[in-house]
Amino acid sequence: MQYQGEADYRHGSAERLGVLLLNLGTPDEPSTPALRRYLKQFLSDPRVIELPKWKWWPILNLIILNTRPAKSAAAYRAVWDHFGPGSPLLTISREQQKGLQDRLSAQMAGPVSVAVGMRYGNPSVAQALAELRDAGARRVLVLPLYPQYAAATTASSFDAVFDALKTWRWMPELRLVNHYHRDTGYLDALAASVREHVAEHGQPQKLIMSFHGVPQRYLMSGDPYHCECHVTGRLLAERLGLADDQWMVTFQSRFGREEWIKPYTDETLKSLPEQGIKHVAVICPGFSADCLETIEEIGQENRGYFTEAGGETYHYIPALNARDDHLDALARLIHRHTQGWVEHSGFDALADQHERGISQARALKLGAAQ
Ligand SMILES: C=CC1=C(C)c2cc3[nH]c(cc4nc(cc5[nH]c(cc1n2)c(C)c5CCC(=O)O)C(CCC(=O)O)=C4C)c(C)c3C=C
Ligand SMILES: [Fe+2]
Ligand SMILES: [Fe+2]
């Protein structure tokens, strides 16, 4: 069969809501071959690298995939098992899934299933959607865990959902969450995490809000990501009552030679000590879960740049991960986006019709055989 369906589907079962949590992905293990597989899938995505194929293919296949996998594997080994066995991003995503499943099961009127899909690597988006289908979800809310919309992340996650559904016989109803960069619960949770940090470690001279970067070209082509990062930054600073010189937004994880959106996190941290800023705290509000880019790049690499340049006190404030206030905020976001998807009662009639249709088809077949 070209399209997947459930031959034994039981009409009349309760309407189940599916919530599909999506994140970027992670290699299966921190080895060079696993990284090569993962990076090939990731960096072949035209949403991530917006270059003509003839130009990008040789760079990716002849240069990057021969050099980067070993380096990235070493970086992943440094963070592997950091939050329990395996990839931090996947471990934390599973905790978020469980926390949301518990909350939504207790709060929602009807049955609900929460699944996790990774845009690259495993569990794939197709696997996660199949899990929801097997649980009987006919309505799916797609929630990419990127607070700020970027074509490279959010739109690419939606692409993966549409691609997977191309093979389905009975498509679910879909709703897509674009972003939640100014959501009150999200901002309150970020502010609470900073206040807790300050209570324990003191007020930094500057709070660096470091977001993952994207090429400058994408901003100039109309991607709202840069603006949404700044909106989050400003609203967070307002909540914390910070003066303009007590915080700044920077962009990290530059990849390739092209110019990315600025200021760069690493260059900023190298330059702050000479301006008399010796105590900083870094928060990464664009990452809903800690991962290589926060634990290794911000927690370790950039700490080195700051202290080598004469900085004295450097702290990384962890991502919201599975904090209660984060999961409460996401549960509220899910409630808001699923409003109007109430139980409906048309299914008994459909069940009836299904049974009748199948017996008629059988009878006709029998008749033809006689
Ligand atoms: C949070 C939002 C993210 C944006 C926007 C984003 C854009 C983007 N990323 C790359 C290249 C790489 N990113 C890598 C890892 C990575 N990126 C994000 C998030 C965003 N990326 C996350 C959460 C992670 C970590 C995954 C993990 O398992 O921990 C990597 C792989 C790691 C490495 O080899 O360094 C690359 C490569 C581009 C080119 C891009 C925008 C166009
Ligand atoms: Fe990235
Ligand atoms: Fe902007």
Q: Is it the case that residue 296 has pLDDT exceeding 60?
A: yes
Question: Residue 26's beta-bridge partner residues?
Answer: 121
Domain with CATH 3.40.50.1400 in the chain: 16-180+326-347, 184-317
The H or E element that residue 120 is part of is: strand 112-121
Q: Is 196 marked as binding a ligand? A: no
Q: Is it the case that residue 352 has pLDDT exceeding 80?
A: no
ipTM of the complex: 0.93
Specify the pLDDT at position 353.
63
Question: Residue 250's beta-bridge partner residues?
Answer: 210
Q: What confidence tens digit (pLDDT) does each residue in 336-346 have?
A: 999 988 554 34
Q: What confidence tens digit (pLDDT) does each residue in 191-248 have?
A: 999 999 999 999 999 999 999 999 999 999 999 999 999 999 999 999 999 999 999 9
Measure CA 97 to chain center.
12
Specify the pLDDT at position 3.
84
Averaged over 306-323, what is the pLDDT?
98
Specify the pLDDT at position 345.
37
Best residue among 181, 253, 254 to mutate for probing ligand 1, ranked by most atoms within 8 Å of CB: 253
Specify the pLDDT at position 344.
42
Class at the top of the CATH hierarchy for domain 184-317: alpha beta
Identify the residues whose C-beta falls under 6 Å from ligand 1: 24, 26, 48, 68, 72, 87, 89, 146, 150, 152-153, 212, 214-215, 253, 255, 286-287, 291-293
The stretches of 62-87 forming alpha helices (DSSP H) are: 65-79
The structure tokens listed for 71 are 């380096």
324-337 helix and 88-107 helix, angle to the nearest 10 degrees = 60
Specify the pLDDT at position 192.
98
pLDDT classification of 360: cutoffs 50, 70, 90: confident
Computed over every residue of the chain, the mean pLDDT equals 93
pLDDT classification of 347: cutoffs 50, 70, 90: very low
- Farthest-apart Cα atoms in the chain, separation: 94
Instruction: Name which of 70, 24, 29 is nearest 43 in CA terms.
Output: 24
CATH number of 16-180+326-347, picked from 3.80.30.20, 3.40.50.1400, 3.40.50.2000, 3.30.70.20: 3.40.50.1400
Specify the pLDDT at position 341.
86
Q: Quote the ligand 1 centre to 252 CA distance (angstroms).
A: 10
The structure tokens listed for 265 are 């996190």
pLDDT classification of 9: cutoffs 50, 70, 90: low
Best residue among 21, 22, 23, 24 to mutate for probing ligand 1, ranked by most atoms within 8 Å of CB: 24
Cβ atoms of 138 and 24 within 8 Å: the answer is no
Pairwise pLDDT comparison (338 vs 368), residue with the higher score:
338
Q: Quote the ligand 3 centre to 127 CA distance (angstroms).
A: 35
Averaged over 174-187, what is the pLDDT?
98
Specify the pLDDT at position 350.
54
Averaged over 183-192, what is the pLDDT?
98
Q: Is it the case that residue 148 has pLDDT exceeding 50?
A: yes
Specify the pLDDT at position 346.
42
Q: What confidence tens digit (pLDDT) does each residue in 10-65 have?
A: 666 667 999 999 999 999 999 999 999 999 999 999 999 999 999 999 999 999 99
Cβ atoms of 289 and 215 within 8 Å: the answer is no
Instruction: Report how far residue 322's alpha carbon sits from residue 100's, in angstroms, rounded to the nearest whole number.
Output: 9
Instruction: Report how far residue 51's alpha carbon sits from residue 217's, in angstroms, rounded to the nearest whole number.
Output: 11
